[in-house]
Amino acid sequence: MSESTKCVAVLTHRRPAETGPALQILMQVAAASGATVRFAADEVEKHHLEPAPGLELGSPAPSRSDGAGVDICFALGGDGTILTALRTYAGTGVPVFGVNFGEVGFLAAVDRDQARIGFERALAGDFDVYPLPGIRLHATDGDWIAINDVAIQRQPGNRVANLAYSIGDEEVGRVRCDGLVVATPAGSTGYNLANGGPVMAWGVEGFVVSFIAPHSLTARAVVVAPSDRLTIHNLSREEPVDVGIDGRPVQALDPGADIEASFVDGQGMLAQLQGANFYRRLRQKFGRLATLP
């Protein structure tokens, strides 16, 4: 990586005053290594950037179609920003290196006070890459890729959702609830964890379905095999439900409509400093798991 890092892309969250100093450090480190830093037009405007050697300003918004021209993407923000970068470059092989400017920062490689050493090590190729699966969501209105999770929720002010879910051709259950979440292993520490669903370590194949405030004493989270297709049915006769990926709304699911979710391997490439450990991070970010004496 140290010989081939020629172009880096940057995504930052919506508070430029927080990420601006780290961005200056990145440009200094990139210049010293001979790499070009590419900024899309919205990032140029956000940070009031001026032309300078080593900067490529006003590029089209990054997408999977141009991932081949980028060697690494730096995401400066919280987990939401890192997820945006992972979705942007899903399937391209471009690694995403996160610097945490958010609250939890479970996906970040370094915290903000480690930005300089993180940039230096990343541009020297001194990092590991964890391939992350995604969830492909298919509906009549389009297709999407989620890296963390898909959430199907009742709309504010509407009655409780009435959802059925099938795995393959077999209906598994019907639940009246506020919604359900379909999560990858990387996403299992997010909304799924808040629902009481199981934590799945990075590298586990499959995805988990958990329920938001189920009106049932028997609804339990289900871990689905990677080759199985999950279909969610909105059984309501009147109430649509909202569908979101990685915390961002994408469409409404009308009464009587279905939506399909399937496991897709190797979508996001998450960069981490060498020696990163999932279980150590789990303990640091969420506290030591309680065990019986």
Residues contacting residue 192 through CB under 8 Å, at least 6 positions apart:
149, 181, 183, 198, 208, 210, 221
| Cβ neighbourhood burial of 287 (10 Å; 0-12, 13-18, 19+) | exposed
Q: Over the stretch 254-276, which tens digit does the pLDDT of each residue have?
A: 999 999 999 999 999 999 998 88
Task: Calculate Rg over the CA atoms of the chain.
Answer: 20
The rounded distance, in Å, linking the Cα atoms of 125 and 130 is 14
Helices 16-33 + 115-123 axis angle, to 10: 40
Give the pLDDT of residue 228.
96
Mean pLDDT over 40-64 rounds to: 85
Is 158's pLDDT higher than 70? yes
Give the pLDDT of residue 214.
95
Amino acid symbol at 197:
G
Identify the three-state secondary structure at position 56. Answer: strand
- pLDDT band for position 31 (cuts 50, 70, 90): very high
Give the pLDDT of residue 2.
43
Domains of the chain, CATH where assigned:
7-127+273-286 (3.40.50.10330), 134-265 (2.60.200.30)
Is 98's pLDDT higher than 70? yes
Q: What integer best gives the mean pLDDT of the chain?
A: 91
263 neighbors 207 (Cβ within 8 angstroms): yes
Give the pLDDT of residue 66.
53
**Catalytic, out of 79, 149, 242, 246:** 79
Is 188's pLDDT higher than 90? yes
* Whole-prediction pTM: 0.90
- pLDDT band for position 290 (cuts 50, 70, 90): low
Is 65's pLDDT higher than 60? no
Give the pLDDT of residue 69.
84
Q: Over the stretch 109-133, which tens digit does the pLDDT of each residue have?
A: 999 999 999 999 999 999 999 999 9
Percent of the chain with pLDDT over 90: 82
Q: Over the stretch 275-286, which tens digit does the pLDDT of each residue have?
A: 888 888 888 888
79 is catalytic: yes
Give the pLDDT of residue 227.
96
